[in-house]
Amino acid sequence: MIEDKNQEKTGLDQLGEFELIKHLTKDFTLQQTSTIKGIGDDAAVLDFKDKKSVISTDLLIEGVHFDLSYMPLKHLGYKSVMVNLSDIYAMNATATQITVSIAVSNRFPLEALEEFYSGVALACEIYKVDLVGGDTTSSTKGMLVSVTAIGEAKEENIVYRSGAKPNDLLVVSGDLGGAYCGLQVLEREKEVFKVNPNNQPDLSPYTYIVERQLKPEARRDIKGLLEKLEILPTAMIDISDGLSSEILHICDKSEVGCNLFEDKIPLDPTVIAACEEFKMDSTLVALSGGEDYELLFTIDQKDFPKIKGNPHFTVVGHMTDKNEGVHLVSRSNTKIPITAQGWNSFS
């Protein structure tokens, strides 16, 4: 649908904070039995009975984490939820509720926030989570989004970063590098648009990688897949900052080393093609790109036959004694020390 530029926009000052919250959340329905009270009181009330609750939160800042010149607000709402659900799934837990807080400047009318919340609503519907609270306020510098995700798990099923042991296998879900390649395409088209605003980019050859950037999916399915295989990972983390950073996190918390094999890193053909086009090293993109929201985990060697040949998983390395360090084993069989070169919001 083409937006009517002349259509009257609704200023947020016409509603006030409480009416705004009521308006934006009126169509959200509760799906979780653990949600006793959602939005509408001083606090949400949740009941997990005999399970443990897991909680994670993320802050997204316009100009740092997202660029609204090519990130549609509906996609931003969806992605804001995915970023947080991914952390819950990385604990081998089930996501159940979220809170969403936003701060916006006066350049955002009500209709813009409706778009954002429609993306949040779609994520809630698909991933079966309840929106149970949040806050709205004003900002002098663009848009800020804070999402908190809550989940549940039996204590014996929770997987931390700290359980990996020497000789455990290092496994990754899906493929890596797509989100970073999609970002490069979008940034390039943004520069072209600045020069010629009438130019409409053809993104069809880049559909997969652009979607990986604009509308990522959290790996809710991994918990169930591993349960069917009767595998409980020894350690797990989500790949938000790049493969190298996440491996180092597991090694640090588990006090182990690691050998990661370059030729085992899973890359989609569109990622390889984009790397060639942009003259980027595909291994470096997988190691440092980030925002893939795949899961990286370790398993006991005895579980290898269960996972071997499974299309959802790739064994990319193994854990070693801490004294052996953390290395990338290149295609030419050279050991290269792995350093954290992933996303750093302070650099």
> Is 80 labelled a binding residue?
no
Is 87 part of any known ligand binding site? yes
Strand order in the sheet with 130-138: 52-61, 144-153, 94-104, 130-138
Q: Is 343 annotated as a binding residue?
A: yes
Q: How far is CA 217 from CA 75, 108, 169, in A?
A: 11, 26, 25
* CA quadruple 259, 323, 87, 156: dihedral sign: positive
3-state secondary structure of 170: strand
Task: Consult the annotation and say whether 58 binds a ligand.
Answer: yes
Length in residues, the chain: 347
Euclidean distance between CA atoms 56 and 347, whole angstroms = 23
Annotation-wise, does 135 bind a ligand? yes
CA dist 115 → 31, 65, 80, 143, 269 (Å): 22, 18, 13, 14, 33
| Alpha helix stretches (DSSP H) within the chain | 17-25, 73-89, 110-127, 178-195, 207-214, 221-228, 243-254, 269-277, 282-288, 304-307
Q: Determine the 3-state secondary structure of 47 from DSSP.
A: coil
- 4 assigned to a ligand binding site: no
Q: Does residue 23 have a known ligand-binding role?
A: no
Distances (CA, A) of 67 to 78, 97, 143, 183, 282: 15, 27, 10, 10, 24
Annotated binding residue at 291? yes
Do residues 289 and 222 lie in contact, with contact meaning Cβ atoms separated by under 8 Å? Answer: no
The verdict on whether residue 10 carries a ligand-binding annotation is: no
Q: Is 268 annotated as a binding residue?
A: no
Distance CA 116, CA 125 (A): 15
Look at the block and give the residue holding tokens 């990754």: 172
* Helix, strand, coil in percent for the chain, rounding step 5: 35, 25, 40
Close Cβ partners of 334 (under 8 Å, ≥ 6 residues apart): none
188 is in an annotated binding site: no
Distance CA 111, CA 107 (A): 11
Give CA–CA dist 266/295, Å, rounded.
13
Annotated binding site for Mg(2+): 42, 56-58, 87, 135, 238, 241
Annotated binding site for substrate: 65, 291, 343
Annotated binding site: 42, 56-58, 65, 87, 117, 134-135, 161, 238, 240-241, 291, 343
Annotated binding site for ATP: 117, 134-135, 161, 240
